Amino acid sequence: MRPEIAGLLREDLRGRQPYGAPQLDVPVRLNTNENSYAVPEDVVAAIVEEVRAVAAHLNRYPDREFTTLREALAAYLRAQTGVAVEADQVWAGNGSNEVLLHLVQAFGGVGRTALGFTPAYSMHPIITRTTGTTWVDGLRGTPTGVFDLDSDLAVAQVRRHRPQIIFLCSPNNPTGTALDLDVVRAVLQQAPESLVVVDEAYAEFARPGTPSAMTLLAGHPLLVVTRTMSKAFALAGARVGYLAADPDLVDALRLVRMPYHLSDPTQAVALAAIRHDASLLATVEAVKRQRDDLVDKLGALGFPPVPSDANFVLFGGLADERTTWQALLERGVLVRDVGIRHHLRVTAGTPDESEAFLLALGDLPDSHRQLPAPAGNEQAREGAPA
């Protein structure tokens, strides 16, 4: 970076690294938790028709309240969760990252603190810091699992740091572990004046019986549940994320959003997808089967997996995760180094992609295996993306 640019850059941003999952042209890409199944043809046709209908009017600004989309998202959430969500409780943006940014812009800022529990989604601290909000890396770990988070541990850290914003993930990225709602209840009780954000980007992939924080919205005006259409809906390229919260909280987000932030084509694509959700979500069960198969086969290969409620699996037992990542890449398979010692993360793809990954991993020499098996709480490497 040129010295004059570096000198003018905000001091708190100097030396930091941007988010950057590798985008490499390899036969098997299993590093960013995309849905490996292409958008079905009937949905493609519907998207084309919806976009065609708005194309002649692109000389006008879009509906800045995206009313029809909010109504459709509310109806989807009611059907998917059984919770009585209404349109005035829904907000959307260009990917869930923009929705998260709106939240931190409105409720964070200089002199305020956000707390998350590491390892978790790496964009939470990045988004937080871009607004001048102080980020605190909380800890995970219980006697039964190094990546778990229980009520006592969460509450103790909330008491210590007294944050204005608290991030929770369920299922958690990059570990895949779901959160017991008792943890959310305990945090809400301990921090009645804090914004509690539960990131449920992978909720549709959760195993049967896994609860959603949507069920806690009533009576908790500072609880927010965020979701995305990138994963289960296979629309990562469309960039549509959304949240559910109290109507007054949603209203506050209008203070920080850019005018007309959701374009007509974006709204049209999202609406077409929701109207054909059965077709799109048909791939979810196939992905879940591949995830569970990966868990079984990784264990059999001697690379201990973390039980997952997402569309990916975190696995350990690696002598050096960076060396193994490179070795897999050389075999045409791209997975994710999420910054946790002795671990890598792999997306549950198609059967052919999963088989290619397992064959490549099984072909590696024994020098890639960690001996003895890891013990204790492995900490994430500072600055590594998750």
* pLDDT for res 17: 83
The structure tokens 């990966």 sit at: 294
Q: CB 384: neighbour CB atoms within 10 A? A: 18
pLDDT tens digit sequence for 239-282: 999 999 999 999 999 999 999 999 999 999 999 999 999 999 99
Whether 20-39+279-368 and 41-275 share one fold: the answer is no
State the Cα–Cα distance between residues 31 and 325, nearest whole angstrom. Answer: 10
pLDDT tens digit sequence for 96-145: 999 999 999 999 999 999 999 999 999 999 999 999 999 999 999 866 67
pLDDT tens digit sequence for 8-52: 999 888 888 888 788 889 999 999 999 999 999 999 999 999 999
CA-based angle 343:127:14, to the nearest 5? 90
What end-to-end distance do the CA atoms of the chain give, in Å?
25
State the Cα–Cα distance between residues 386 and 371, nearest whole angstrom. Answer: 25
pLDDT tens digit sequence for 179-209: 999 999 999 999 999 999 999 999 999 999 9
State the Cα–Cα distance between residues 275 and 337, nearest whole angstrom. Answer: 36
State the Cα–Cα distance between residues 19 and 9, nearest whole angstrom. Answer: 17
**How is domain 41-275 classified at the architecture level of CATH?**
3-Layer(aba) Sandwich (3.40)
The structure tokens 């490497």 sit at: 381
Q: Give 380's contacts (C-beta < 8 A, 6+ positions apart).
A: 118, 119, 338, 339, 340, 386
Q: What is the mean pLDDT of the chain?
A: 94
pTM for this entry? 0.93
Question: What CATH number labels 20-39+279-368?
Answer: 3.90.1150.10
Q: Among 205, 309, 234, which residue's Cα sits nearest to residue 36?
A: 234
Token output for 13: 């941003």
State the Cα–Cα distance between residues 2 and 298, nearest whole angstrom. Answer: 46
Domain boundary assignment for the chain: 20-39+279-368, 41-275
